Amino acid sequence: MTLTRLDRQYGTAVRGVWTSVLGRVGRSWTDLGSWRGEDVARFQRTALPAMLAGQRQIASLTTSYLETLYREITDETQRAELDFDRVTGRALRDVDPADVYERPFKEVWAALGKGEPFDVALDRGGHRLQTLAKTDLQLARTHTVREVSGDQDGVEYTVRELQGEYDCALCMIASTQRYHKRNLQPIHPGCDCLVKTVASDYDPGQVIDEDRLERIHELVEDALGKADRGGRAVDYRKIIIARDHGEIGPVLGYRGQRFTGPDDINLPT
């Protein structure tokens, strides 16, 4: 499958929301001037509404995209009735967002408690904030896909399409698989993969791109000295794993490994 005009338009719109929301939240953090306990509520008063608005925008864009895609692949029109409270805010982690967005402050305080310089501690807090915000925006998308596609009788599977110039090996391997629509797709913070639905009368098979999957394993082996070519049933025990995070659901992650650079994991398109 390749990106269509619809895919590109949707991807551009979502990236626009990401840029706007992350910029607003980031400025709310850096403009604080101090990051003490009494500053937490001040930060949350600006950051939480911005995050919720962004999540709702992502959910709305994703719903419209899936409705149009459904019409294209089934020749039928089916409007989705999405409950935004199920795909935004507390529903994403089952944790109060106020608690979630206090964590960057705790990151700063913990680093200072270990004797780190203030600028280093502040950078760590800012990085934690960006990770949280990116994760929540992507969760709004994957939760919406699950809710909307779950009610679409004409689709049964989802596949992942890569959009970035550089995509991590985790997303690359995920893009060679197909998923059942009711399974929340594995993600990682900052993931911007496009989720596409597949008509019920066509099962592309668990592995949809054998050549690409094999090439990824070769690159992993070149970078790390080992690869798991037997893990083709979404079971990447040697190098890549899909594990359940207590709050955000399935998460793609490394098992104590990292790549040496983009050239080690990037594939030609």
Neighbour count for residue 225 (Cβ, 10 Å)? 8
Tokens of 30: 């850096």
- Residue 198: per-residue pLDDT: 85
Q: What is the DSSP letter of 117?
A: -
- Residue 104: per-residue pLDDT: 98
Distance of alpha carbon 133 from alpha carbon 128, whole angstroms: 9
The CATH class for the domain spanning 1-153 reads mainly alpha
Per-residue pLDDT of the chain (269 residues; tens, 9 = 90+): 566 899 999 999 999 999 999 999 999 999 999 999 999 999 999 999 999 999 999 999 999 999 999 999 888 898 989 999 999 999 999 999 999 999 999 999 999 999 999 999 999 999 999 999 999 999 999 999 999 998 898 888 888 887 765 567 777 778 888 888 877 666 677 677 888 888 877 777 788 888 888 877 776 676 556 666 554 433 333 334 345 667 767 666 655 444 444 444 443 33
The per-residue DSSP string of the chain comes to: ----HHHHHHHHHHHHHHHHHHHHHHHHHHTTS--SGGGHHHHHHHHHHHHHHHHHHHHHHHHHHHHHHHHHHHS--------GGGTSGGGGTTS-HHHHTTHHHHHHHHHHHTT--HHHHHHHHHHHHHHHHHHHHHHHHHHHHHHHHHT-TTEEEEEEE--SSS--HHHHHHTTBEEETTSPPPB-TT--PEEEEEETT----SBS-HHHHHHHHHHHHHHHS---TT--SS---SSEEEEEETTTEEEEEESS---S-HHHH----
- Residue 166: per-residue pLDDT: 53
Distance of alpha carbon 248 from alpha carbon 250, whole angstroms: 7
- Residue 234: per-residue pLDDT: 32
- Residue 267: per-residue pLDDT: 39
- Residue 231: per-residue pLDDT: 46
- Residue 251: per-residue pLDDT: 66
Q: What is the DSSP letter of 234?
A: S
Whole-model pTM: value is 0.82
- Residue 223: per-residue pLDDT: 59
Is 106 in contact with 53 (CB distance < 8 Å)?
no
- Residue 108: per-residue pLDDT: 98
- Residue 123: per-residue pLDDT: 97
Show me where the domains of the chain are located: 1-153, 155-269
